[in-house]
Structure formats: C-alpha cells, structure tokens
Amino acid sequence: MATKRDVIAVGDPVLRQVAAPVADVADPYVQRLIDDLIETARLANGVGIAAPQISCSERLFIVASRPNARYPQAPLMEPTAMLNPRLVAHGETLVQGWEGCLSVPGVRGLVPRYEHIDVEYLGRDGALRRQQLADFVARIFQHELDHLDGIVFLDRVGGKDDLMSEADYLDMLLAARGSSRG
C-alpha cells in the first residue's frame, strides 16, 4: 500500500541539500519510496515530485504529467520514476513558463527552461533509459532535477513581476480560454 507523505516547504534545509545517488534501485526501501511519491503527487495534484520534498535526500523523482485542477493544460502520461537522472544535452531555445511547486504552496513564477532536452535515468526496474523530452514534460524534468541539487524554482524567477498567486494564475488561464473561445 502506498502512503501519502508530508511534503516539506521552502525554509526546510533538506530542500537546499544536494541529494545522494540511489545506490540500489531494487532495495525495497527505494521501491516503497517510489510508490509513496507517486501517491503523494497524485493526491496533491502535482505533475512531479522529488524525493527531497518528502525529506528523503536521494536522487529520485517522479514525472506524472496529467491535467488536473492545478495544471488544467498538462499532457497526460503514466507516472514515471526517474532515478539518478541526468540532463545530457539541450537545445538552444529557452522558453518562459509558469511553474508551481508543492513545496512553495499558493505561488506561481515565470521560469525559463530549455524547450528540448536529452536525458538519462534509471527506471524503477534498474534499466538505463535515454529519452528526448520537450515542452511541458521537459520543464517538469528540469524543475525536479533542480530539487536534487538544492534549487527551487523561485531561485530562477527573473523579477517580482514574474510571481503571482496560484488563484490569480488560474483566473488568468480561465480568462485566456474564455477569450480564445469567443
């Protein structure tokens, strides 16, 4: 049974640590951690979550993009565990996009990320995977990878005009959809 874990917020020193590599993917502790992260992200309407966010300073995160109340426009994918992930190459194009974080409740910020990236990681079966990611899923990967290096998205926000409340952000999305319809 997967268990929902408590998500820590900015200010907790664990979020500022560089996480340690996962030594043994098959370890039941690691497999349990993966299940709990997936469950915690699902219940919190997260599209990704990194182990340090539940106080486990290990290089492991979940990418679980799906449309939900916090990210109505997210693409749908199976929750994917990525262990010891690496960004191995990226295109030149940086795109600005609004991000939120379960560890920064109620806030959205405009963050530049690479539009196209090549990544490597171990799956939960221990096999090495190489993938090309683009757009929103590439953004999630870069956001979660930052968590493993003690970085939160607020560190990458350009200025005070690039922050807004989650409520205002969702209002802005609704307004944009209304005008594209009309």
Selection from 114, 115, 124 nearest residue 78 by Cα: 124
Q: How far apart are CB 101 and Zn ion at their closest, in Å? A: 3
Nearer to Zn ion, 51 or 119 (CB): 51
Question: For Zn ion, which is the closer residue by CB, 130 or 146?
Answer: 146
**CA-wise closest residue to 101 among 9, 22, 179:** 9
Report in angstroms how near the CB of residue 179 gets to Zn ion at its nearest. Answer: 30
CA 129/CA 131 separation, integer angstroms = 6
CB of 114 vs Zn ion, minimal distance in Å: 17
Nearer to Zn ion, 165 or 175 (CB): 165
Give the distance from CA 4 to its chain's centroid: 17
User: What residue type is assigned to position 102 of the chain?
Assistant: L
φ, ψ for residue 28, nearest 5 deg? -55, -30
Smallest distance, Zn ion to C-beta of residue 103, A:
5
For 32-82, the DSSP string reads: HHHHHHHHHHHHTT-SEEEGGGGT--BSEEEE-----SS-TTPPP---EEE
How many CA atoms are closer than 13 Å to the CA of 107, on its beta-carbon side? 17
Residue carrying structure tokens 């039941």: 28
Comparing every residue's Cβ against Zn ion, the nearest one is 101
| Whether 144 is catalytic | yes
Pick between residue 83 and residue 101 the one whose CB is nearest to Zn ion: 101
**Annotated active-site residue in 99, 120, 144, 166:** 144
Binding site for Zn ion (CB under 5 A): 101
Q: Which residues are catalytic?
A: 144
